Amino acid sequence: MQKRYFEDFHPGMVMEFGPRLVAREEIIAFAAEFDPQPMHLDDDAAKNTMLGGLAASGWHTCCLAMRMIADGFIINSGSMGAPGTDEVKWLRPLRPGTHLKVRTTVIDMRASKSKPDRGFVTLQMDALDDAGDLIMRMTFPWMVARRSAGAAS
């Protein structure tokens, strides 16, 4: 697929990635390294928590979604990074065995006023489970090069 620039996106554009099977072992391995709370580490301990059973760290969901959009379009684009994210909502547990999907929707776009070589694309990123229910939602501003300026440099 051709490398994507600012001009290749438009408001309302939807891209979907996955499914990507999330295994119990990777949920536990991630938690052991970055979020060692009982509900992310151990089935029995997790039963007595708010999650009612083993589920991935919310940060793991963020990282898995990041990887899916990196492979999906970020790496093969004029990406110039993101300064952060707006609100991140963890809405449902990400359970072992889920076939995770990610759906990104372009909700706003604007060319940079000060730097003509780039623009800003506001992306809503949803993570969905097998039933299509929302596991996570976040919105973030993504900075991406313009094709015209990119070609001239």
Residues that bind a second copy (CB under 8 A): 33-37, 39, 49-51, 57-59, 62-64, 66-67, 70-71, 74-75, 79-91, 136, 143
Q: CB neighbours (10 Å) of residue 146? A: 19
- If the CB atoms of residues 12 and 153 are measured against a second copy, the closer one turns out to be 153
CA distance 88 to 93: 14
Residue 99: CB minimum distance to a second copy, A? 18
- Listed in sequence order, the residues at least 6 apart from 86 whose beta carbon sits closer than 8 Å to its beta carbon are 138, 139, 140, 141
Residue 89: CB minimum distance to a second copy, A? 4
Residue 87: CB minimum distance to a second copy, A? 6
- What angle do the packed helices 24-34 and 58-69 form, to 10 degrees? 110
Residue 81: CB minimum distance to a second copy, A? 5
Q: Return the closest-CA partner of residue 134 out of 70, 89, 97.
A: 89
- If the CB atoms of residues 12 and 27 are measured against a second copy, the closer one turns out to be 27
- If the CB atoms of residues 11 and 52 are measured against a second copy, the closer one turns out to be 52
